[in-house]
Structure 1
Amino acid sequence: MPARRCPLSAETSADPAATLAATVGADGRYVPPWRAALLRAAPAIGLFAAARLLGLVVMALWAGHIDRQPRRILARAWDSDWYLLIADHGYGRVLRWPDGAVQSDLAFFPLYPGLVRAVTSVVPVTSGSAGLLISWTAAGAAAWGVYAIGERLHGRRTATALVLLWGLLPHSVVLSMAYTEPLLTAFAAWALYAVLTGRWLWAGALSALAGFSRPNGIAVAAAVIAVAGWTLWRAYRTPDGRSPDGRTPKGRALRGRGGWRIWTAAALAPTGWCGYVLYVGVRTGDPLGGYFAVQRGWTSKFDFGAGALRVVRDIVLRPTLLSLVMALLVVLVSLVLFVLLALDRPPMALLVYTGVLVLITVGGSGFFESKPRFLLPAFPLLIPAARALAKARPGTAAVLAIALAGLSFAYGAYLLTLSPIAL
């Protein structure tokens, strides 16, 4: 029986011959599509895992040299400690500072600590070990999702380069820590892939989980809603039957042939983020503004970049820390990469998702040194560079990869063992 094609796919369907080749093994036996996809992605995931493992070895050797415990650094550094305390004791921790600032753990979204608590309830491990297990698993799932998107858009070579570049970013050490960026990226990558392949219910559900994991997870919901709205609008405007591309039915057909899935995805996508924001608001006595008041206690607010510009001025005019200089460079490079991505005319889902992440990062104030970490889930920024790397000569590509690895490993060790400010 031939596979059914989703009538509302946001992208053209894969070539039937390629699909058949991907699901039939060398011995002629049927291979489930997910397993075939994983086998194709295995070399890229292996490169990603090797890069992160080597980075951990470098960090651990240096940490041992200065009498620091690598495992504690990975599991309990900075925000990791807040997440694991929530997992162990629930919400309720508040820090009050002499200047009047109040920092509440309600600023941290609940999915990651909830998963940590679930793991420790069934497996005899500490919350730190559970947090690392979840983060490492999520990083692997994210690498697979990044590969799947890259392969669908530009082929296997570019997809492999994309995964490798993502694993060798200067701040990619975060992907090996008990932090939430790996979890968000995993949900985001697969939600975007679901949109690209017309799996709307999966897109909505994964988007809701992304929004339940981190504040900037709302970028995934924005992408799902934007593509859903465009797909519905375009379908309703077509003449009776199908549009010129032969794929998008008219509004009447939408109601009878799966249009409800798009509506459901759009409605479901923001529920994770909105649900937690409303929960914090109700808990603090201000349903609509309570969460944002909590964030202001951490000096985090959206001010269209005014606060960030003040930090940039200080970085330029005064001696400062390496981590702040590197953060500024990463943000500037990310802006350039976003322009290149937009000029490449990617699918709407990727452009909206990446644009919202960049906007939140650049337009938000507070913790300037953390902005590169906030951009880690914005992997589509690397697509233009991955395409260039895939076209480069093998020798040139190898030299570039080695140089990036050296920077990533050395800077990651610095961030976790020498930098005096939060990651």
Structure 2
Amino acid sequence: MTDLGTRTEPALRRAAPALLGYAAVRALGLLTLALWSAARDKNAYTLLTARWDALWYTRVAELGYGYEVRLPNGDVHSNLAFFPLLPWLERLLHATTPLSFADAGFVVALLASLAAAWGVFAVTEHVYGSRAGVCAVLLWAVLPVGIVQSMAYSESLFTALAAWSLYAVLTGRWVTAGLLASLAGLTRPVGLAVVAAVWVTGIAAFLRDRRDRDLSGSPRAGSVVRNRDAAGEHPARGPVRRVLGMALAPLGAAAYVLWVGHRTGKGPLGYLDVQAGWRNGFDGGYAFARFVADKFTSFPSALAGAGLIVGVGLVVWLYVVGVRQGQPLPLLVYSGVVTALALCASSYFGSKPRLLMPAFPLLLPLALALARARTRRSAVIVALIATASALYGAFWLNGSGPP
């Protein structure tokens, strides 16, 4: 425990500016939401904890699985679509504290959002330095859909687990990476992105080991090993830990999907049937492309269609810039899979910005640019975007549709 504290305290001190900045941005968003909601005779806390997906999670926490809603068109919305880690944590807090299930979800979201911010900082600091780390956290906080980070949703919890799993991969802690990836797989279906990052990076490491063995007789062998050490790879931990981490990574998602298949009596593909009941699936982006194209049937909606095209173009551009800047392989794999799953899902088009929120490596090119600017200029930019984000978040949550 003493050794853990010795390692954690300096890391927390380095992350403190990022966490304080993150807390300030989130406080601004919550205050704006409270004022906006009060002006519309709505309860801000209810918007954060007892609407849309938050209701489904708290119902799972309170009553377990088995609840479903049959719509007039024949669709069946089953709570089996919601992965169990967040409801488990809500149930645990409810059982050990006076908190209601909804209150527990809000507390989990707040704590998880701080853990996520710290994870984003840790990953970015490891790759690009502490100044870029602070900027990455602030950019993640001021996303237009950043208010979701304070909702009783699973995005903050998932991002925390994903970020720290990626950090463990980058620093050669394979067993930790696998355990966190497994927990991410119990949080959201997109946990597959974390598993992919662990597996692809692990396979690449094995290939690099083989190359190094082939070069062991050459004069350059010593420099190869030193370069690996400098990159954060820890060969002394051995391939056994790497294999163990890779084996652990998919267990969470696999366990839940297989359990759903058993419960529904439809085998390993039962979870896909559950998602189909929500009109959700993976069609390569066809439905989303058609949704965007339909926006151009009239002038007012054409502006929204153009905005969607620009947004998708920006996401793709940021990914390409990340590749050109030499982002580490696990970050590229993770953000690539998250982006593909978000953009190529066949339903819930209005939720795509929220589904993209965990793909924080996409923000690293912008974080680098912000880190290179003068401090005063960066502060003004972040303050302006934070204000706009707070206003948009309040407007968004006071609307009729789910985020």
TM interval, shorter chain, is over 0.9
Aligned twin of 2:373? 392
Asked if the contact 1:324–1:368 (Cα under 8 Å) also holds between the matched residues in 2, the reply is: no
Asked if the contact 1:331–1:371 (Cα under 8 Å) also holds between the matched residues in 2, the reply is: no
Give CA deviations for 1:358-398 in whole Å, capped at 9, x if unaligned: 11111111001111111111000000000001111233212
Give CA deviations for 1:194-219 in whole Å, capped at 9, x if unaligned: 00000111000000000110011110
Indicate the SS of the match to 1:215.
coil
One-letter amino acid matched to 1:246: V
Label 1:367 to 1:337 Cα distance change in 2 as closer, same or farther (>3 A).
same
One-letter amino acid matched to 2:312: V
Which one of 151, 155, 168 corresponds to residue 194 of structure 1? Answer: 168
Give CA deviations for 1:161-194 in whole Å, capped at 9, x if unaligned: 0000000000000001000000000000000000
Aligned twin of 1:408? 389
**1:314 maps onto 2:294 in alignment:** yes
Alpha-carbon distance in structure 1 between the residues aligned to 2:177 and 2:308: 32
Asked if the contact 1:59–1:412 (Cα under 8 Å) also holds between the matched residues in 2, the reply is: yes
Asked if the contact 1:327–1:368 (Cα under 8 Å) also holds between the matched residues in 2, the reply is: no
Alpha-carbon distance in structure 2 between the residues aligned to 1:154 and 1:284: 47
- More displaced stretch, 103-112 vs 228-237: 228-237
Aligned twin of 1:3? none
Label 1:324 to 1:113 Cα distance change in 2 as closer, same or farther (>3 A).
farther
Indicate the SS of the match to 1:301.
coil
Give CA deviations for 1:27-55 in whole Å, capped at 9, x if unaligned: xxx97121100011001100001000111
Asked if the contact 2:295–2:304 (Cα under 8 Å) also holds between the matched residues in 1, the reply is: no
Aligned twin of 1:37? 11
Asked if the contact 1:327–1:369 (Cα under 8 Å) also holds between the matched residues in 2, the reply is: no
Give the alignment of 1:74-153 within 5 angstroms: 74-153=48-127
Label 1:131 to 1:325 Cα distance change in 2 as closer, same or farther (>3 A).
farther
Q: CA deviation at 1:293?
A: 0.8
Indicate the SS of the match to 2:190.
helix
Aligned twin of 2:225? 246
- More displaced stretch, 236-245 vs 157-166: 236-245
Q: CA deviation at 1:315?
A: 2.4
Aligned twin of 1:273? 253
Structure with more of its chain in helix, by fraction: 2
Which one of 296, 307, 312 corresponds to residue 331 of structure 1? Answer: 312
Alpha-carbon distance in structure 1 between the residues aligned to 2:182 and 2:136: 25
Asked if the contact 1:143–1:186 (Cα under 8 Å) also holds between the matched residues in 2, the reply is: yes
Aligned twin of 2:331? 350
Aligned twin of 1:383? 364
Q: CA deviation at 1:324?
A: 8.1
Indicate the SS of the match to 2:327.
coil
Alpha-carbon distance in structure 1 between the residues aligned to 2:304 and 2:67: 28
Alpha-carbon distance in structure 2 between the residues aligned to 1:82 and 1:332: 33
The runs of 5 or more residues in structure 2 that have no matched partner are: none
Alpha-carbon distance in structure 1 between the residues aligned to 2:144 and 2:368: 20
Which one of 210, 220, 223 corresponds to residue 236 of structure 1? Answer: 210
Task: Give the root-mean-square deviation of aligned CA atoms.
Answer: 2.2
Which one of 189, 211, 218 corresponds to residue 192 of structure 2? Answer: 218
Alpha-carbon distance in structure 1 between the residues aligned to 2:70 and 2:310: 33
Aligned twin of 1:285? 265
Give the alignment of 1:156-195 within 5 angstroms: 156-195=130-169
- More displaced stretch, 227-236 vs 217-226: 227-236
Q: CA deviation at 1:335?
A: 1.7
Indicate the SS of the match to 2:275.
helix
Indicate the SS of the match to 1:95.
strand
Asked if the contact 2:113–2:157 (Cα under 8 Å) also holds between the matched residues in 1, the reply is: yes
Indicate the SS of the match to 1:238.
helix
The runs of 5 or more residues in structure 1 that have no matched partner are: 1-22, 24-29
Which one of 277, 283, 308 corresponds to residue 303 of structure 1? Answer: 283
Asked if the contact 1:324–1:369 (Cα under 8 Å) also holds between the matched residues in 2, the reply is: no
Aligned twin of 2:401? 421
Asked if the contact 2:36–2:395 (Cα under 8 Å) also holds between the matched residues in 1, the reply is: no
Aligned residues: 390
- More displaced stretch, 68-77 vs 390-399: 390-399
Asked if the contact 1:103–1:297 (Cα under 8 Å) also holds between the matched residues in 2, the reply is: yes
Which one of 361, 379, 383 corresponds to residue 342 of structure 2? Answer: 361
Give the alignment of 1:249-264 within 5 angstroms: 258-264=238-244
Asked if the contact 2:38–2:44 (Cα under 8 Å) also holds between the matched residues in 1, the reply is: yes
Alpha-carbon distance in structure 2 between the residues aligned to 1:161 and 1:236: 38
Give CA deviations for 1:91-126 in whole Å, capped at 9, x if unaligned: 111111111111111000000001100110010111
User: Taking structure 1 as the reference length, what is the TM-score of the superposition?
Assistant: 0.88
Q: CA deviation at 1:328?
A: 5.6
One-letter amino acid matched to 2:386: A
One-letter amino acid matched to 1:294: V
One-letter amino acid matched to 1:398: A
- More displaced stretch, 329-338 vs 54-63: 329-338
Asked if the contact 1:132–1:177 (Cα under 8 Å) also holds between the matched residues in 2, the reply is: yes
Q: CA deviation at 1:243?
A: 6.3
